[in-house]
Amino acid sequence: MTQAMLDVANLHAYYGKSHVLHGVNFSVHDAEVVALLGRNGAGRSTTLKAITGEMVPHGSVRFLGREIGGWPSYRVARLGLGYVPEDRDIFPTLTVRQNLELGIKNSRRPGQRTVDGMLDMFSNLRRRADTPAGVLSGGEKQMLTMCRTLMGDPKMMLIDEPTEGLAPLIVKQIGELISHIAASGVAVLLVEQKLSIAMDISSRVLVMGHGQIVFEGTPAALRANEAIRKEWLEV
């Protein structure tokens, strides 16, 4: 396999005196969708925050061959690592179109994606292009957040709990959007609670428990491993 796009080694992280991540190791390759699974409190969102500079990491985080551990978030983003947090952080008083425009990394050097191209690709957003983003449904806000991140032409996206609280039909659409993102050449590290959608769209899965990776393999291998599912995933 080619050199990893993202390589995380011996990653530790703390909230105050609380030791949350305990030596996390994994990698993500070009255009690959890797799902990071686990129960609430396992350390999945903390892992994304440590990678993106939202909190201080201890250990190695290499992206595109460069050590980015401890970089501020804006430098990480400029290098091509997009982050979609779980809170669907849109600008509610701005229109859908304006929210997308804010995702452009450099207005003087437009990237490969345009606002109109993004709207054409996703009809839900096209119909709402001039609507204040605050009135969108939860699913539409999630789609807008992901598309706004895409506007910055990331080489990889970290997506945290995109289907939380959404209806099954919208969950399916979000899954299709993530598959489309990967098909366009963007790697994805996906934190997801819904096992079925994660298994359907991922090429590899990581299971996290107590701040460590306790399983790594294909979705088929996880389906076949009842002991891991019962101990670390099932309620």
pLDDT digits (tens, 9 = 90+) for 113-146: 889 888 887 778 899 999 999 999 998 999 999 9
**For residue 111, what pLDDT is reported?**
61
Alpha-carbon torsion 60, 12, 85, 208, what sign?
positive
Q: How far apart are CA 174 and CA 109, in angstroms?
A: 29
Alpha helices in the chain (DSSP H): 44-52, 73-79, 96-102, 115-121, 123-127, 138-150, 168-183, 195-201, 219-224, 226-232
Tens of pLDDT, residues 197-227: 999 999 999 999 999 999 999 999 999 999 9
Q: Which residue has the higher pLDDT, 188 or 3?
A: 188
At the fourth CATH level, the homologous superfamily of domain 6-87+153-232 is P-loop containing nucleotide triphosphate hydrolases (3.40.50.300)
Other C-beta atoms within 10 Å of 166: how many?
18
Q: What is the mean pLDDT of residues 165-191?
A: 91
Query: Is pLDDT above 90 for 234?
Result: no
CB 47 within 8 A of CB 40: no
pLDDT score at 105:
73
**Secondary structure (3-state) at 182:** helix
pTM of the model: 0.93
12, β-bridge pairs: 22, 58
pLDDT at 17 over 80: yes
Q: Please, are residues 154 and 5 in contact by the beta-carbon 8 Å criterion?
A: no
From 148, 10, 13, 12, select the one nearest 77 (Cα to Cα): 148
Residue 106 is predicted with a pLDDT of 66
Instruction: For residue 189, give the nearest of 158, 233, 225 by alpha carbon.
Output: 158
Can you read off the two tokens belonging to residue 194? 């819904």
Tally of CA atoms within 13 A in the half-sphere of 172 that contains its CB: 3
191: Cα within 13 Å, side-chain hemisphere: 22
In this structure, what token pair is assigned to residue 53? 């500079």
At 27-85, the pLDDT tens digits run 999 999 999 999 999 999 999 999 999 999 999 999 999 999 999 999 999 999 999 98
- Asked if residue 132 lies in contact with residue 164, where contact means CB atoms within 8 angstroms, the answer is no
Closest Cα partner for 91 from 136, 45, 55, 52?
136
| 89-121: b (≥16 Cβ within 10 Å) or e | ebeeeeebbebbeebbeeeeeeeebebeebbee
